[in-house]
A and B are shown apart, each in its own frame.
Chain A
Amino acid sequence: MKRLPTASRRDVRRWALKTAAIHKREFGLLLGSLAVATLIGLAGPQLLGALVDDVAAGTTTGRVDVLAAAFVVILVLQALARKIARMRGAVFGELVLAETREEFVGTALQLPLGTVEAAGTGDLLSRATTDLGRIDHAARFAAPEILVAAVTVVFTVVAMVVTSPLLALGLLVALPLLVPVNVWYQRRIPAVMQWMLDRWADLTTSVHETAEGARTVEALGLAERRIGAAYDALDQSILGERRMRRLQLRWLPSLEISYVLPLAVMLPLGLLAYTKGWAGLGEITTMLLYVQAMAAPLNEALFWLEDLQVAAAAARRILGVHAATAEDSPKVTDVPRGRDIDVHGVRFAYTADREVLHGIDLRVPRGERLAIVGPSGAGKSTLGRLLAGIAAPSAGSVRIGGQDVSALADDVLRGEVLLLTQEHHVFSGTLRQNLALPARREGGDWTDGELLAALDSAGASDWVASLPSGLDTKLGSGEHPVPAAIAQQLALARVVLADPHTLVLDEATSLLDTGSARDLERSLNSVLAGRTVIAIAHRLHTAAAADRVAVVEGGRITELGPHDELLSAGGSYARLVAAAS
């Protein structure tokens, strides 16, 4: 499985700076309100220092009462300022979060299909849930706490230096411990964290697969094995968490000790200053209270730092998706001139050493019905994907009206050629939302009449009539059930709406029982009238009805011609037909 790319740490930093710059106003308000709240908070220890000096010098209770009143005023102001800062934090955080979320899904919706399929939906899904969730958590809790702590620590240090530069020197004793231990830790934690996140993502994939395949699990008695797989994935995640814990256990004690040291040093230093007359008792009190006041925000920052780092690692996975779209080749703005399809010298390999198609030449004139038959694994589906422009050939070209199909812009391509496969997905939403996917040529929304007509040509009008709320019936898991045959008819109705001139059918009816398949094929016939149709088929009556039949074997076209001609030629097509009857 090829994972989607991950952004570099520099990309994340650049993104953070850019986000702050774009929302200058919100970010400025947040920082400003935070600074005011912190400044007001710094007045407390100063007041107590004044109180200590007054008491030491002898004072009146009246003066004490005044100072106490001042305390209360400061307290109320500080609380209000903190309230405003919090609110600004929520506004800014939610703004950035919504933007990140929407940008991510918007980007995912532009991923090249080949990329999504190679990476599996699990990878993308875990980014959409776990990683977004981690960023969400960090933006809601860790980021504001760390911001408050950082502002508090910086302002407190400044206040200390202003109050008493000599005693502020005591802060320096913390540095020899603080700096190297943090450098050691910060260097190791990202890799450990990344590994751990990937293991949690594996667990999500496992949970997702088991839920999607609940029936298969029961039918084949795989429950215990799937539980085992979930336990194993969990064990790996837990192992990742424990590696993180081990790192933290070596880092935490030195950190905590480092912020009690200045306290111990400043007492004797204070004695020296007081004895020499450099500082009053009130000043020393203020300074000691400041040091103590710093421990709490530092602790808080510490507590949340790992969440912020987890979020940074998650952000790399979220932003990495942008890089995946960049891998896509640039689309041309040209539109095809004509509707003939030309396949010339096409080779295709999923990986360098596994070539599936070894040189295909084919011309499909407008309006032709071509059936592609051949043994499973011969490369029929791959050819179909190339014809529909979903992947580009490794060598050679697939052109519609002289334009490379895979280079056409999505909107242009869909009006030209569509691929209909046996796979379907019912989105949780109304029938209307499930149906109205293609863009309407005239713009605007599809009318009920158009949607119902499309359902009718797909042969689903009876089913629609049986729905409790018609087009507004909710479908999808937990809502109104949609049988496989109907899901395929919905897919067909979408094709009617998209109205492409060429349609590639890749065993679109093969997972249905023959009866439903025949019904669907009947509806297909009305849908297909007037279009170029390339049908990858294994049921030979489809081939018999086609204008020409191409037999694909071992990545090459071995026979090509009308049904009757191939039959009388007595080649592999004739043998195929003989085997089926």
Chain B
Amino acid sequence: MLSATYPFPPLRLPARPTARRFLLAVFRARLGTVLGAAAIGVVWALPGALVPLVIGQGIGAVGAHDGGAVWRWALAAAALGVIQALSGTWMHFLNYGLWLHGAGSTQRVVSAHTTRVGAALREHTTTGNLVAVSTTDINHIGNTVEMTGRAFGSLLAFVVVAVWLISTSPLLGVVALVGVPLAVLGIGPLLAPLQKRKAKQREKRGDVNALGADIVSGLRILRGIGGERRFFARFRETSQRVRRSGIEVGQAEAWLAAAEIALPGLVTVVITWLGARLAVAGEIGVGQLVSFYGVSAFLIWPVTAATEAVGSITSGLVASRKVVALLAIPPKLADPETPVPLPGGPLELVDTASGVRVAPGRLTVVDFGADGEAVADRLARFADPAEGEEVLVGGVRADHVALAELRRRVVYAHNQDIWFSGVLREQLAPARPGGVSITEALSAADADDIVDALPDGVDEVIGERGREVSGGQRQRLNLARALATDADVLVLDEPTSAVDAHTEARITERVAALRRGKTTVVFSQSPLWTHVADEVFTAKAMTV
């Protein structure tokens, strides 16, 4: 059986990689496999170059009625075929591995970075773009890494054929050596417009993908209130634009296909024509003439491989540019250059701009209405205060604390937080287990009845965004998830806005008991929270 994990050697990336540096890093991480694929590619390509020679010799032998020689050449052809098949299979194995490496390690780097960027991510990119990168672009990068073996093999096969031609007939050899590169160069000018059109088409396809994804994401609303027709009309229009740009690409590709036949074909005709003249002059035999034809027909192949390689590198670079752009997304807030560690135990929070001072180890309720969110954002450092104001956490300026430490100590659960799909227990378990068990957290959030109603309890798999449960139930599960972190400071934004008064009363009392001795700040306008608070801040005055 295949093991479940696949080794991904880490990519060594410079701080701000360019598209090219990124691709190189992908190559370098599996240099051994890349070299192996190139070596085996040579073994695989050579028989392709040699078979025409063997066939030519065989026909010569038939013409000479030399039965023994005919059988020898027939066996040689078969042997070459077997070598090609075996080495081809091996190459396929390595190439496939290289594709997995290229696509897989790119996906890993992108996933890791974009996830760590956190809240700032969606200011810089769209979900549609991220999905496009992890479906299309990692593919292109995989393809770029994959084509190494074939490209090297055909290059060497070309050299072998050229050497044979020169040793047989210097004139023909020179024609091949000059003609084939000329044919490749002749195809070159067709590639630039093709790539340009392809890039344009890719952009259009990105648009249509993003629009499709957007429609699917908002499907509930569209189905609920209408607008399907308008959105469909918009999609159709975008889709038709993709079609038109696709036909433009097809046009460019059609010329390329014609050139790929005509240009190398001309080289073949010239070589065959010169060969036939040599044969008429009696300088070479019929068999050799056939070999010339076969060998020069074979030369189309390296030409095609070269254009393919150029195309795949170009696509790889375009994809790599998108990846690099994602990797360059900075976190929203800067980490301090020399972070100051936070003191241990429950922490005091001070926001000078609003005058909110949260005493350590107490439950504080802030009733600021719509202005509360800005205060919460500052207290948990999701935003920095204006010039001249500051936020102190345990006496230390919030922007002097390493962000990772701050996030660990101060947890800010917002009521727009989403629920991720997966096993309920795993989604509830905090990143770092503290002194609060999942059962305690569920009980404090009065969410045990939700879990009890699920067929598999805490082992139930909850789908995307927790849509299986109602809004109020989801809010209680979200609260349980926040409580389970057992953070030194817990900032809760309207944690019970969607639950009924009975339940809310139970929750407030249980949360107050569970959080005793730790710092808790609740942004809420509910009197039930005020009942259990140690301290209350309202927009007008402060009461204790």
Do the beta carbons of A437 and B227 come within 8 Å of each other? yes
Q: Which of B59, B226, B471, B481 contacts A285 (CB 8 A)?
A: B59
Report yes or no: B262 in contact with A75, Cβ–Cβ below 8 A: yes
B432 within 8 A of A: yes
Q: Apart from A90-B249, A513-B525, what are 8 other A-B pairs with CB-CB below 8 Å?
A: A52-B290, A97-B246, A102-B239, A203-B134, A214-B119, A222-B420, A253-B85, A377-B450
Alpha-carbon distance between A418 and B483 when the two chains are bound, in angstroms: 36
Binds B, one of A258-266, A398-406, A464-472, A522-530: A258-266
Task: Tell me whether A270 and B62 are in contact (CB under 8 A).
Answer: yes
Residues facing B in A365-381 (CB within 8 A) are 373-377, 380-381
- Are A75's CB and B127's CB within 8 A? no
Q: How far, in Å, is A23 (CB) from chain B's closest CB?
A: 13
- Is B62 touching A438 in the complex (CB atoms < 8 A)? no
Are A83 and B258 within 8 A (Cβ)?
A: yes
Q: Does A439 lie within 8 Å of B226, measured CB to CB?
A: yes
The 8 Å CB contact of A438, one of B227, B276, B414, is: B227
Q: Which residue of A lies closest to B241 (CB)?
A: A98
- Find out whether the CB atom of A245 lies under 8 angstroms from the CB atom of B78: no
> Does A130 sit within 8 A of B, measured CB to CB?
yes
**Shortest beta-carbon distance from B35 to chain A in Å:** 20
Give the CA-CA distance A266 to B542 in the complex, in Å: 100
In the assembled complex, A241 has its CB within 8 A of some CB on chain B: yes
Q: In the complex the two chains form, what is the Cα distance from A337 to B526 in whole Å?
A: 43
C-beta contact mask, A373-417 vs B, less than 8 Å → 1, else 0? 111110011100000001000000000000000000011001000
Other-chain residue from A239, A242, A248, A268 in contact with B71 (beta carbon distance below 8 A): A268
Is B253 engaged at the interface, CB distance under 8 Å to the other chain? yes
| Least Cβ–Cβ distance between A169 and chain B, in angstroms | 15
Q: With A224-B431, A423-B220 in contact, do A249 and B89 touch (Cβ < 8 Å)?
A: yes
Bound complex: CA of A478 vs CA of B125, how far in Å?
A: 6
Q: Can you list 11 A-B pairs with a CB-CB distance of less than 8 A?
A: A86-B250, A90-B251, A129-B135, A214-B119, A223-B116, A260-B85, A292-B55, A353-B455, A425-B220, A513-B372, A538-B504
Q: Is the CB of A375 within 8 A of B503?
A: yes
Q: Is residue A449 within 8 Å, beta carbon to beta carbon, of the partner chain? A: no
Does chain B have a CB within 8 A of A161?
no
Q: Tell whether, in the assembled complex, residue B70 and residue A75 are in contact, meaning their CB atoms are under 8 Å apart.
A: no
A122 touches B289 (CB 8 A): no
- Smallest CB-CB separation from A356: which chain B residue? B453
B12 partner residues in chain A, CB cutoff 8 A: none
From 167 to 193 in chain B, residues with beta carbon under 8 angstroms from any chain A beta carbon are none
- The stretch from A5-13, A110-118, A182-190, A455-463 touching chain B is A110-118
Chain B residues within 8 Å of A350, by CB: 468
Complex CA gap A580/B525 in Å reads 12
Find chain A residues with CB under 8 A from B220 CB. 113, 116-117, 423, 425
* Other-chain residue from B82, B226, B293, B464 in contact with A498 (beta carbon distance below 8 A): B226
The answer on a CB contact under 8 Å between A125 and B213 is yes
Candidates B81, B261, B455; contact of A263 at CB < 8 Å: B81
Q: What are the residues of chain A within 8 A of B247 when measuring CB–CB? A: 90-91, 94
**Complex: how many Å from CA A349 to CA B339?**
55
Tell me how many residues of A have a C-beta within 8 Å of chain B: 178
Q: Could you tell me if B257 and A271 are in contact, using CB atoms closer than 8 angstroms?
A: no
Q: Please provide the chain B residues from 82 to 100 with a CB less than 8 Å away from any CB of chain A in the complex.
A: 82, 84-86, 88-89, 92-93, 96-97, 100
Does A222 lie within 8 Å of B251, measured CB to CB? no
The interface bits of chain B over 345-377 (1 if a CB of A lies within 8 angstroms of the residue's CB, else 0) are 000000000000000000000000110110000
For A507, list chain B residues within 8 Å (CB).
471-472, 498
B6 & A238 in contact (Cβ 8 Å cutoff): yes
Stretch of B14-22, B157-165, B405-413, B511-519 with 4 or more beta carbons under 8 angstroms from chain A:
B405-413
Q: Are A207 and B111 in contact (CB under 8 A)?
A: yes
A474: CB under 8 A from chain B?
no
- Cross-chain pair count, CB within 8 angstroms: 534
Of B24-32, B202-210, B317-325, B390-398, which stretch is located at the interface? B202-210
**Which of A56, A223, A422 meets B118, CB within 8 Å?**
A223
Encoded as 1 (CB less than 8 Å from any A CB) or 0, chain B from 507 to 544 comes to 00000000000000001011110000000000000000
Q: Name the residue of chain B whose CB is nearest to the CB of A376.
A: B472
Known: A130-B135, A241-B100, A428-B210. A579 touches B276 (CB 8 A): no
Q: 6 closest Cβ contacts across the A-B interface? A: A90-B250, A260-B81, A437-B227, A218-B118, A515-B369, A376-B472
A376/B473 contact (C-beta < 8 A), A80-B258, A90-B246 known: yes
- Contact between chains at A575 and B502 (CB < 8 Å): yes
A284 touches B464 (CB 8 A): no
Q: A residues within 8 A CB of B464?
A: 1, 120-122, 205, 209
Q: A559 to chain B: closest CB distance in Å?
A: 14
Q: Name A's interface SS.
A: helix
Q: Scoring A residues 422 to 465 as 1 if CB is less than 8 Å from chain B, else 0, what string do you get?
A: 11110111000100111100000000000000000000000000
Contact A132:B471 (CB < 8 A) given known A79-B261, A90-B254: no
- Pair B231/A87 contact, Cβ less than 8 Å: no
A568 interface contact, C-beta 8 A: no
**Alpha-carbon distance between A341 and B481 when the two chains are bound, in angstroms:** 40
Bound-state CA distance A436–B129 (Å) is: 26
B286 at the interface (CB under 8 A from A): yes
Instruction: Please name all residues of chain A whose beta carbon is closer than 8 Å to the beta carbon of B82 when the two chains form the complex.
Output: 257, 260
Report which of B70, B80, B213, B223 forms a contact with A260, defined as CB distance below 8 A.
B80
Given the known inter-chain contacts A109-B228, A128-B212, please indicate yes or no for A208 contacting B258, CB distance below 8 A. Answer: no
Interface residues of A in 217-232 (CB under 8 A from B): 217-227, 229-231
Q: Provide the bound-state CA to CA distance between A145 and B124, in Å.
A: 39
CB of B333, distance to nearest CB on chain A (Å): 10
- A215 B119 Cβ-Cβ under 8 A: yes
Does A544 sit at the interface, judged by CB under 8 A? no
Q: B503 contacts which chain A residues (CB < 8 A)? A: 375-376
A538 near B265: Cβ-Cβ < 8 Å: no
Interface mask (A59-84 → B, CB under 8 Å = 1, otherwise 0): 11100110110011001101110111
Given A203-B134, A292-B52, A292-B55, are A243 and B2 also a contact pair (CB < 8 Å)? yes
Contacts of B120 in A (CB 8 A): 214
Q: Is the CB of B221 within 8 A of A437?
A: yes
User: B467 at the A/B interface (Cβ < 8 Å)?
Assistant: yes
The interface centre, meaning the residue of B71, B135, B234, B277 with most chain A CB atoms within 10 A of its CB, is B135
A477: which of B127, B239, B276, B498 is its contact (CB, 8 Å)? B127
Task: Check B461 for interface membership: any CB of A closer than 8 A.
Answer: yes
- A89 vs B471: C-alpha distance in the bound complex, in angstroms? 51
CB proximity of B474 to chain A, nearest CB, Å: 9
Residues on the A chain within 8 Å of B382, using CB? 215, 219
A284-B59 in contact given A55-B276, A90-B254, A425-B218 (Cβ < 8 Å):
yes
B309 within 8 A of A: no
Q: With an 8 A cutoff between CB atoms, is A101 at the interface?
A: yes
CB distance from A42 to the nearest CB of B (A): 14
Q: Which residues of B lie under 8 Å from residue A424 when comparing CB positions?
A: 221
Partner of A55, one of B84, B225, B286, B482: B286
Among candidates A78, A207, A241, residue contacting B134 with C-beta atoms closer than 8 Å = A207
Cβ of B107 and Cβ of A109 under 8 Å apart? no
B294's contact among A211, A292, A577, by CB below 8 Å, is which?
Answer: A292
Give bound CA distance, A102 to B82, whole Å: 47
Cα of A213 to Cα of B414 in the assembled complex, Å: 11
Q: Tell me, in angstroms, the Cα distance from A353 to B499 when the chains sit together.
A: 26
Q: Is the CB of A105 within 8 A of B215?
A: yes
Contact indicator B277/A204 (Cβ below 8 Å)? no
Contacts of B413 in A (CB 8 A): 219-220
How many angstroms from the CA of A110 to the CA of B294 in the assembled complex? 58
The reply on A178 being an interface residue by CB < 8 A is no
* Assembled-state Cα–Cα distance A411/B273 (Å): 74
Would you list which residues of chain A between 296 and 322 have a CB under 8 Å from chain B?
296
Residue B13 CB within 8 A of the other chain: no
Q: Which residues of A contact B71 (CB under 8 A)?
A: 267-268
Q: Is B224 an interface residue (CB 8 A)?
A: yes
B417 and A105 form a contact (CB under 8 A): no
Interface centre among A82, A373, A424 (most CB of B within 10 A): A82
With a CB–CB cut-off of 8 A, which chain B residues contact A60?
280
Q: How far is the CA of A232 from the CA of B169 in the complex (A)?
A: 59
